[in-house]
């Protein structure tokens, strides 16, 4: 596979082994500008290992990761973030004593590589506040902008984390199970938010909620035992015998 300069994120034959376990098995994929690409698979399929390699937390044993055609395989997560790759996590990382606006302004400051010294003074910097307010609005949390993180519901904390990622204006956004632990109502709210982000950002979603995946995804890749067994449009994935076999006894794909 030749690296494509106009492709936001691309992998070439990623391999990661843990002893005799092949956690990622020659994984090659590419994302399309403005689309949401979902990675699904049974428990233990290697999804967490794959997204760790994309984000820079894990180094592959072989293969490469490209951002906009640039090889970033050897770069740590912080350097990839500076090049426009942002990642949300399964567990919110916001400080509970900070307010929503403070948390997002601090995230913006950190993305710029600045220290946290005199952090309260950040709210006096109009450009940081404006960017934070814009990201908070995109995450649907403007009505809670002055609340402390400790006062937010679980779903609202995930929305806050999304705002903390969006404030950096990423080129590619990695979403690691954003609906984890949410109620159905909270999940539907996040689905609506992510649907609104499509076209503005290139998104890669790892998610167990199949209803959300099939409602949102433009492309779905199915990971089983570390290997991509199918990749395509949701309707093709839904009716693939190989995919249905992989999910048999685990989770039925939504009709």
- For 193-232, what is each residue's pLDDT tens digit? 999 999 999 999 999 899 999 999 999 999 999 999 999 9
- Rounded (10°) CA dihedral 247, 248, 253, 254: -160
For residue 3, tell me if it sits in a domain: yes
pTM: 0.88
Q: Does position 151 have pLDDT exceeding 90, yes or no?
A: yes
Examine the pLDDT at 119 and tell me if it is beyond 70: no
pLDDT of residue 34: 94
Looking up residue 196, the CATH number of its domain turns out to be 3.40.50.300
Q: pLDDT higher for 176 or 1?
A: 176
Are 149 and 184 found together in one domain?
no
Statement to judge: residues 35 and 53 lie in one domain: yes
Q: What is the pLDDT of residue 6?
A: 74
In this prediction, residue 11 carries a pLDDT of 96
> What pLDDT does 17 receive?
95
CB-facing half-sphere around the CA of 44: CA atoms within 13 A: 7
**pLDDT class of 89 with cuts at 50, 70, 90:** low
**Residue 108 maps to a domain:** yes
Q: What is the pLDDT of residue 134?
A: 95
In a domain, residue 90? The reply is no
Q: Tell me if 48 is assigned to some domain.
A: yes
Same domain for 64 and 49:
yes
Q: Looking at the structure, do residues 158 and 196 belong to the same domain, yes or no? A: no
pLDDT at position 116 over 60? no
Residue 205: strand pairing partners? 38, 175
In a domain, 89, yes or no: no
**Residue 180: band (very low, low, confident or very high) from pLDDT cuts 50, 70, 90:** confident
Same domain, 147 and 36: no
Residue 77 located in a structural domain: yes
Q: Are residues 116 and 145 in the same domain?
A: yes
One domain for residues 174 and 254: yes
pLDDT of residue 121: 61
- Could you give the number of structural domains in the chain? 2
What percent of the residues of the chain are helix, what percent strand, and what percent coil, each to the nearest 5? Answer: 40, 25, 35
195 and 115 co-located in one domain? no
DSSP state of 120: G
Question: Residue 129 pLDDT more than 80?
Answer: yes
Which segment of 63-67, 114-118, 198-202 scores lowest on mean pLDDT? 114-118
Last residue of a domain, one of 169, 196, 218: 169
Q: Residues 135, 184: one domain?
A: no
247 lies in some domain:
yes
Same domain, 30 and 48: yes
The answer to whether residues 133 and 76 belong to one domain is no
Q: Do residues 10 and 63 both lie within one domain?
A: yes
pLDDT of 2 strictly over 90? no
Give the three-state DSSP class for 248. Answer: coil
CA–CA dist 86, 171 (Å, integer): 8
* Domain-terminating residue out of 169, 200, 220: 169
The last residue of one of the domains, among 169, 184, 214, is 169
**Which domain, by its residues, includes 148?**
96-169
Secondary structure (3-state) at 187:
helix
Is 91 part of any domain?
no
């Amino acid at each position: 596979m030749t690296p494509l300069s106009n492709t936001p994120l691309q992998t070439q034959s990623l391999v990661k082994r843990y002893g005799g376990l092949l956690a990622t098995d020659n994984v090659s994929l590419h994302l399309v500008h403005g689309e949401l690409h979902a990675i699904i698979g049974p428990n233990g399929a290697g999804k967490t290992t794959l997204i760790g390699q994309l984000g820079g937390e894990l180094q592959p044993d072989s293969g490469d990761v490209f951002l906009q055609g640039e090889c970033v395989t050897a770069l740590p997560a912080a350097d990839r973030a500076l090049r426009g790759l942002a990642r949300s996590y399964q567990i919110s990382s916001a400080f509970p004593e900070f307010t929503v606006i403070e948390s997002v302004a601090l995230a913006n400051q950190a993305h710029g590589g600045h220290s946290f010294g005199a952090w309260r003074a950040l709210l006096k910097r109009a450009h940081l506040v404006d960017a934070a307010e814009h990201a908070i609005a995109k995450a649907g949390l403007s009505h809670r902008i002055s609340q402390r993180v400790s006062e937010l519901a679980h779903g609202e904390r995930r929305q806050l984390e999304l705002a903390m990622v969006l404030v950096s204006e990423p080129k590619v956004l990695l979403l690691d199970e954003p609906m984890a632990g949410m109620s159905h109502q909270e999940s539907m709210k996040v689905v609506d938010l992510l649907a609104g982000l499509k076209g503005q950002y290139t998104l890669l979603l790892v998610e167990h909620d199949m209803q959300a995946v099939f409602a949102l995804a433009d492309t779905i890749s199915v990971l089983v035992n570390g290997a991509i067994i199918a990749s395509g449009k949701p309707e093709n994935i839904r009716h693939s015998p190989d995919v249905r076999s992989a999910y048999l006894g685990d989770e039925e794909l939504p009709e």
